[in-house]
Amino acid sequence: MKTAADNNIPYKVYLDEYELPKAWYNVRADMKNKPAPLLNPGTMEPMTAEELSAVFCDELIAQELDNENRYIPIPQEIRDFYKMYRPSPLVRAYCLEEKLQTPAKIYYKFEGNNTSGSHKLNSAIAQAYYAKNQGLKGVTTETGAGQWGTALSMACAYLGLDCQVYMVKVSYEQKPFRREVMRTYGASVIPSPSDTTEIGRKILAENPDTTGSLGCAISEAVEAEVTQEGYRYVLGSVLNQVLLHQSVIGLETKAALEKINVKPDIIIGCAGGGSNLGGLIGPFMGEKLRGEADYRIIAVEPASCPSLTRGQFAYDFCDTGKITPLAKMYTLGSGFIPSANHAGGLRYHGMSPVLSQLYHDGYIEAVSVEQTAVFEAAELFARCEGLLPAPESSHAIRAAIDEALKCKETGEEKTIVFGLTGTGYFDLVAYQQFNDGVMNDYIPTDEELAKYAETLPPQPEE
């Protein structure tokens, strides 16, 4: 089924180190409708750089607010760190194509070849670098599944910065190995909610048996930062700055594809807070926004946490404790927590304001997939491509397989590129559920979603 020309394309395309991007790409520069600014929930006015400086590093605030500069240089120190695990490979999924007997050509950009096991390290090192550069002592953050916490621990260990991670209590207990990786990298890991913060104590008083949530851990991490001298808070997704840093994925993907003279038809990424998807599609979206090229771009989210496909496009808090600024995004309500039997990650109630705006303007499609189907795709992929994917990444695999099977029906030789954000070595509890056939595909009802939507804060006047 494959042509001889195909076989001239290697299994893996590695860029050389000198081809590592020298600047991040800022998709906001090419957006006609800019993402809405963060609002101060007290005044309902856009957050100023000064207001944000209580929480974030100065340089990161500049990046957060910059809707104009298309390229922002990557400091040499960050590029040196990137060289330890980048450029990452663009892989031609020959074995998966063969297994599916599809005329489609499938590529994936693999971000899992580092100990954090995911793309999160791309932004972690950037955020840690700017904190260090500002003379700070340390950073605080939250982590759910643990990928972001691990990535930040690694970056801080490298730079000699203190790292305090509030880890959702259920993950802290169920994923002791993730906790130990962070400890090996010298981080303090605190189960959240904890008695180390006021908000944590309040949540515990109200609900002593709570197993925590990402939104609650964010509240604690922000409070911990504000109450410690020389600390700032950092976040692994959702923010504009994070999508900026993650654009290194898309830039490398585009350069690698150009090297082998391939132009994709469809680009697919999983979407939780949006960091991977935003990074992967960035430069392709730039071409699309400028009218230079067209691509189908598909965001894949879990049916159990369907912010794009079933959420509201509205201002909402980024955390459960409602202490953060308001972001305009597709959201299920800041109190939303996916059903406990959801094992597939991507549990955040909202979506990056950049991606939300692009989706709202019709530049992105979104699909939601159920978790058993996701793990079926993961198993198929693992067995023929030899990599055990993270459950998050497997959402993209599912959609890529579905598109490839459509090509099999129609005979179209489309080129599909998807983001394989990470590895599933720390997600074996979820795989075990799947292996044992006890996975549950619970999807929230319209009534449940309506209940959470009621928790949205008052919206600014148009």
Q: Is 17 in the site for its own copies (CB under 8 A)?
A: yes
Q: Which stretch binds its own copies (CB under 8 A): 56-64, 153-161, 164-172, 348-356?
A: 153-161
Q: Which stretch binds its own copies (CB under 8 A): 11-19, 28-36, 308-316, 451-459?
A: 11-19
Neighbour tally for 319: CB within 10 Å? 25
Q: Is 426 in the site for its own copies (CB under 8 A)?
A: yes
CA distance 411 to 150: 43
Per-residue three-class SS string for 81-117: HHCCCCCCCEEECHHHHHHHCCCCEEEEEECCCCCCC
Options 35, 117, 269, 335; binder of its own copies; rule CB under 8 A = 117
CA-closest candidate to residue 19, choices 82, 111, 110, 95 = 82
Quick one: 154 or 244, whose CB is closer to its own copies?
Answer: 154
Mark 163-192 with x for binding to its own copies (rule: CB under 8 A) and - for no binding: -------------xx--xx-xxxx------
**Sign of the dihedral defined by the CA atoms of residues 402, 407, 410, 411, in that order:** negative
Quick one: 8 or 445, whose CB is closer to its own copies?
Answer: 8
Options 194, 423, 452, 456; binder of its own copies; rule CB under 8 A = 423
Q: Which residues contact 272 (CB under 8 A, 6 or more apart)?
A: 237, 301, 305, 345, 346, 347, 348, 392
Q: 378 by DSSP, 3-state: which?
A: helix
What is the nearest approach in angstroms of its own copies to the Cβ of residue 333?
A: 34
Quick one: 46 or 186, whose CB is closer to its own copies?
Answer: 186
Quick one: 83 or 263, whose CB is closer to its own copies?
Answer: 83
CA distance 368 to 302: 5
Burial label for 372, CB within 10 Å (0-12, 13-18, 19+), is middle
Q: Is 129 in the site for its own copies (CB under 8 A)?
A: no
What is the nearest approach in angstroms of its own copies to the Cβ of residue 318?
A: 29
Q: Which amino acid is at 410?
A: T
CA-closest candidate to residue 59, choices 126, 156, 152, 139 = 126
Quick one: 103 or 186, whose CB is closer to its own copies?
Answer: 186
What is the nearest approach in angstroms of its own copies to the Cβ of residue 210?
A: 26
Neighbour tally for 223: CB within 10 Å? 20
φ/ψ of 266, rounded to 5, equals: -130, 135
- Locate the DSSP E strands across 303-407: 312-317, 326-331, 365-369
CA distance 154 to 120: 11
Residue count, binding to its own copies (CB under 8 A): 44
Q: 408 by DSSP, 3-state: which?
A: helix
Options 69, 115, 228, 455; binder of its own copies; rule CB under 8 A = 115
Q: Is 401 in the site for its own copies (CB under 8 A)?
A: no
Contact status, residue 190 vs residue 168, Cβ threshold 8 Å: no
Mark 329-368 with x for binding to its own copies (rule: CB under 8 A) and - for no binding: ----------------------------------------
Options 85, 295, 363, 442; binder of its own copies; rule CB under 8 A = 85
Per DSSP, 27 falls in state G
Options 83, 137, 202, 263; binder of its own copies; rule CB under 8 A = 83
* Partner residues linked to 234 by β-bridges: none
Q: 369 by DSSP, 3-state: which?
A: strand
Quick one: 336 or 375, whose CB is closer to its own copies?
Answer: 375
Mark 209-248 with x for binding to its own copies (rule: CB under 8 A) and - for no binding: ----------------------------------------
Options 365, 382, 406, 442; binder of its own copies; rule CB under 8 A = 382
Quick one: 304 or 423, whose CB is closer to its own copies?
Answer: 423
What is the nearest approach in angstroms of its own copies to the Cβ of residue 449?
A: 33
* Partner residues linked to 368 by β-bridges: 301
Q: Is 103 in the site for its own copies (CB under 8 A)?
A: no
CA distance 44 to 61: 19
Q: Is 84 in the site for its own copies (CB under 8 A)?
A: yes
φ/ψ of 240, rounded to 5, equals: -60, -40
Q: Is 412 in the site for its own copies (CB under 8 A)?
A: no
Give me the residues that bind its own copies (CB under 8 A), please: 10-12, 14, 16-17, 81, 83-85, 95, 113-115, 117, 121, 154, 157-158, 176-177, 180-181, 183-186, 379, 382-388, 423, 425-426, 428-429, 431-432, 434-435
